[in-house]
Structure formats: structure tokens, C-alpha cells
Structure 1
Amino acid sequence: MPVSEKEEHFKAILQALLVTFLWSTSFIIIKFGLKEIPPLTFAGLRYFLAFIFLLPLLLRKKYFDEIKNLGRKEYPKLILYGFVFIGLTQGAQFAGLSLLPSVIVSLMLNFTPMVVAVMGYLLLSEKPTTLQWFGAVLFLGGVIIYFLPVNLTSGEWLGLIIMTFGILANAGSSILGRQINRQRLLSPLVITIISIGVGSVFLLIAGLAIQGISSISLLNIVLLFWMAGVNTAYAFTLWNKTLRSLTAMESSIINGTMLIQIGVLAWVFLGEAISLKEGLGMIVAMLGAVLVQIKLKKIRYKFPSSKQ
């Protein structure tokens, strides 16, 4: 690899690490914001603002022409994708964070690749590799180490139920997104922005109708705009840029560090302590999740819906 390519590759690694750090900080910001803003309303505001930030990209002639030439029969698929990808998945994630520690939510989100692998095998005839099956077993072992002995409150059990629904929605949106991408009628960027727009409107309407909204402090307004502009719009754009230089394995490994990053940040800023047993379970689960994702990450331009 020439020197210039090595420098570009190293730069891409640093950029990918920055993106995962930004996504990890989202868990902490959300936990703070949930003290004042209801979960569904919070999620709706965050992603609707992100949609506004990303919308100018669709004004480029290339993307505008794609939308203009899109057939009517494709719109229901995009609407359904946005509803599941943002509306159900992110709604469940914010609700889960209102009931569970950040690390547990992050750990459960790492179940998604396992569910996607099974769905891909059943629906898309994508047979998981031996390495992926080994990763799945390793991940489940890490989860067992983390949770045993089980000692959860009723609110935390409810949070686990909500997150289980979120995992299924997340995996379903991944399969649906791959089916849409395979048609190659729209670029992944256009698909993602439209889905964020559709899903955020649903979340915002549902949140305001069910949970309402009270006055929001100036600090939370600033944090909302930060999450929408930096942790979502900017991070998404930068992540897709890094995928041009990084291998599938490199992206998976860097993505997998989020579980540890969230654990450290939650301990420092939220006081969510992690025992030695829980830390060991997290590391084992992280390694398993990376192994499962290696094949899945070959689909390059993708918005990681399970991330923040």
C-alpha cells in the first residue's frame, strides 16, 4: 500500500472511531434528556431535526433526479421502511433507555446481527458462515455471563420486553432495507434520508399525541440540535465516507467498540457501575457480535440503524 493510501486508511480509521464515539455519547445525552422529554417525543424531535439537516443533500441533481424518476409502486416500500427503521426501532430504543441502564440497551442492540443472520437465511437465502455461527454462540455466552444471576426490577423487565420488540424491528428494517437496495433504483443516501423523514414524522405525531411535551430547557434544546446535526447527520455522512477505505472486518471491529465506549461513558457520567463479571460478559459479547457482523458489513453504504 503506497504511503498516501496508508495515510488515507489511517485517517479513515480515526474518523470511524470518532463516529462510534459520537454515537456512544448519544446514549448518555438521551439519558439526560429523558429526565425532561418523553421518549417518543424525544426520538421524534431528534430525527426530524436530523432530517432537516440532511434534506439539502437531496437537492443535488443526481439525487433529485432519482426521486423524480421513482415509480409509484416503490413509495409504499420506502414508507414502510421508514416506519420500521426509525418509527418502531428508534421509538423502542428511546423507550428502552428510559427504563434500562445504557449498557443493557447497547448489549441488547447487539442481538440484531444474530436476528438478521437468521432472517437473511430464511427470507433471502443467505447462509451464515461457520464463523458467524461461532460468533453467535460466543455472543450469547457473553450475555449469559453479564446477566446471571438475574436480578431485575419490574420496570427493567418491561424495558427488556420493549427492547426485544425493538431488536425484531431493527432486524426487520435491515432485511427490508437490503431488499430495497438490491433493486438499485435509489442510492443508499436517498433511501436513508427519506426513511428518516417518514419515521421521524410518525414518531413526532405519536409522541405528541400519546406523551405530549412540556417546556424544554435551553440545555436540552442545544443537546437536541447537537444530536441531530452532529451525532446523526454529520456522523452518518462521515461513516459512509470511511466505508470507502475500510475493510468489512475493520468496520465491524471499530463498530463493536461502542459497547465498551458506552459502558465507560455511562460509568463516568451516569454512575452506572460495571462489575468485573459484567465487564467480562461485555467483552465476550462484543467479540461475538463482531464475528457475526463481518459478512453482514459487506453491504457498504448503510446507515447503522441500531446506532445512535
Structure 2
Amino acid sequence: MAAMPFVFVLIWSTGFIVAKFGLPYAEPLTFLLLRFAGVLIVLLPLMWLMRAPWPVGRMRHIAFAGILVQAGYLAGVWCAIKIGMPAGLSALIVGMQPILTAFAAPLVGERVRGRQWIGLMFGICGVALVVANKISMIGLSWQSIALCVFALLSITTGTLYQKRYCASFDLRTGTVIQFAASIVVVLPFAIAFEHLDASLSNVQWTANFIGALLWSVLALSIGAIFLLFALIRKSAATQVTSLLYLTPPTTAVMAWAMFGEAFSITGMLGMVLAVIGVALVVRK
């Protein structure tokens, strides 16, 4: 479907909006655990009713890729924002993923052409312009920077690993495996650092929080992830990750529409550059 990349970008771009609604009411790892558990609650009955096949022989590869893409990436970004990392700067750091993926493309048997390298440069310049007026160094710490860099390396490695070792699998059972593995990894850290208990006493169940959680489960962790896996299956890793250049501009437009955040001429120029960059990368 020609519209699949655009639908993916629109849904994926709501991630920072969800953080704005959800983080005031729960610690980041606690929120992510509820999000991962919600995915299992939705998918397990569907998987059983539809008799979805298990990916025999590739479960450990699928689980490892899921830990990197889900637990590593999301935990890194959300924890960084929670301890003071500005959302604009975190978007810029994570926005380096297409460049890293392009450098590592030979590892998965892909070749990045000269036109695509130009597009990648255009894309990162566009992202920088979009988030330039949102970057603040107030409250910045080495811990928050380290968490964002960890998130960047995690999602880049996870995308390449999945492309190489388990690009094709049933999305229903594969997603269940990935989120179950992510729960196993994140749970001990939530108990140790966020004092998580069985009563979930550290969660405020407000309307905003519930709405953010439901959107995270249904739209982001099921809808967007299914689209991401489908794109990884049918396209080169560099082409897929270049779509993430469109996330900061799209998020900026959403923040302007929903919260009245400023959207400057510089940001508009950045959006144009990002679109041109992605077009250069994905054009056949």
C-alpha cells in the first residue's frame, strides 16, 4: 500500500504527544510496563482465536530485536525526558538513526547510493531546523544525554538485527513475543528505581493518563509497530528509517495544533528539507 509509510509517520509522530499527556501521572518505566501489558491483553486472545502460527526457530531473534526496539528505545527516551532532557533535543539525537543505519547497511547486505546519502544529510538538517527553537540546555545532564544516545543505539541495532535475522514473521505472535520479552527486561528496573508494587500506587488514573495509555497500546504499540515491521519486511532498512526524519516536523505541527506551541519559519524550512531528504532516500 502506497499510503502505509505516511500512516506510519502520522501515528509514530504522536509518541511525544503521548509522553506529554502520560508522564505527569506515572513514572516512565511504570507507564511502559502498563503499555506492554496492554498489548498482550489485546493480542493474546486474538492470536488464540485466529490460531496464529508461532515463529519456530526464530523466537530468540524476535525477542532480542523486540527488547532493543521496544524496551531499550522507549525506556531510554522516556527516562531522559523525565529527568530533564528537552523533547526537541531528544528528537534531534534520536533523529540520527537513519545516518547510523546507512553506515551499517552493508551488515545486512544493503548498499546506500550517493543520492540517498544526500537525502540523509538533507533529512538531518531538516530535523535540526525543526527542533532548533525547541532545544533548551536547562536541566540538561550527562545522564539524560546518555539515555538518549542509548535509545538511539538501541533502536538502530534492533532495526538492523530484525532485518537480518527475522525480517519475516507472523506479526501477531511476533509482537507478543517482543512485548513479553520487554516486560521481563523492564520490570526489575521499575521495581528497583520507581518502587513499583502490585497496587500500582505510583500511578494517578486521570482521564489524560488513561487516554494516553490506550492510544499507546492500540495506536503506537500495535498499529505503528505492525506498520514498521511490515515496512522492514518489504523495504531496505535505510529507506524505512529515513521516514523517521518526518517525525519531528509532524510532531511539531501536532503540538502547534493541540497545545499552541510556536512553529517558526525556520521550522517550516526544516520540514521542507526533511521531506526532500526522505524523497531522495526512498525514490526508486
TM range (shorter): 0.7 to 0.9
How far apart, in 2, do the equivalents of 1:260 and 1:222 lie?
23
Alpha carbons 1:47, 1:228 under 8 Å: kept: yes
Q: Tell me the percent identity.
A: 23
Which residue of the partner structure matches residue 306 of structure 1? Answer: none
The number of aligned residues is 275
How far apart, in 1, do the equivalents of 2:228 and 2:254 lie?
21
Which residue of the partner structure matches residue 22 of structure 2? Answer: 33
- Aligned-residue Cα RMSD (Å) equals 3.8
Which residue of the partner structure matches residue 6 of structure 1? Answer: none
Alpha carbons 1:44, 1:202 under 8 Å: kept: no
Q: CA deviation at 1:152?
A: 1.8
Deviations 1:93-152 (A, max 9, x none): 21233334444434433321221111122x23422111221112223433554549x862
User: Which segment drifts farther, 165-174 or 43-52?
Assistant: 43-52
Alpha carbons 1:138, 1:284 under 8 Å: kept: yes
Amino acid corresponding to residue 65 of structure 2 in structure 1: Y
How far apart, in 1, do the equivalents of 2:35 and 2:29 lie?
10
Please say if 1:165 is aligned against 2:127: no
Which residue of the partner structure matches residue 193 of structure 2? Answer: 210
How far apart, in 2, do the equivalents of 1:17 and 1:279 lie?
18
How far apart, in 2, do the equivalents of 1:176 and 1:263 lie?
30
Within the candidate set 72, 92, 97, 1:88 is matched to 72
Amino acid corresponding to residue 11 of structure 2 in structure 1: L
Which aligned pairs between 1:151-300 and structure 2 lie closer than 5 A? 152-155=137-140, 158-181=143-166, 186-213=169-196, 214-219=202-207, 220-237=209-226, 257-292=246-281, 294=282
User: Which segment drifts farther, 171-180 or 52-61?
Assistant: 52-61
Q: CA deviation at 1:224?
A: 1.1
Q: What SS does the corresponding residue of 1:34 show, helix, strand or coil? A: helix
Q: Structure 1: where are the runs of 5+ without partners?
A: 1-8, 299-308
How far apart, in 1, do the equivalents of 2:35 and 2:81 lie?
15
How far apart, in 1, do the equivalents of 2:147 and 2:249 lie?
23
How far apart, in 2, do the equivalents of 1:21 and 1:144 lie?
19
Shift in alpha-carbon separation, 1:42–1:291, aligned structure 2, 3 A: farther
Q: What SS does the corresponding residue of 1:273 show, helix, strand or coil? A: coil
Amino acid corresponding to residue 28 of structure 2 in structure 1: P
Alpha carbons 1:102, 1:262 under 8 Å: kept: no
Alpha carbons 2:68, 2:155 under 8 Å: kept: yes
Q: CA deviation at 1:177?
A: 0.5
Shift in alpha-carbon separation, 1:238–1:169, aligned structure 2, 3 A: closer
Amino acid corresponding to residue 114 of structure 1 in structure 2: I
How far apart, in 1, do the equivalents of 2:100 and 2:230 lie?
27
Alpha carbons 2:86, 2:136 under 8 Å: kept: no
Q: CA deviation at 1:194?
A: 1.2
Which residue of the partner structure matches residue 135 of structure 1? Answer: 119
Please say if 1:77 is aligned against 2:48: no
Q: CA deviation at 1:238?
A: 6.5
Shift in alpha-carbon separation, 1:55–1:181, aligned structure 2, 3 A: same
Alpha carbons 1:20, 1:258 under 8 Å: kept: yes
Q: CA deviation at 1:228?
A: 0.8
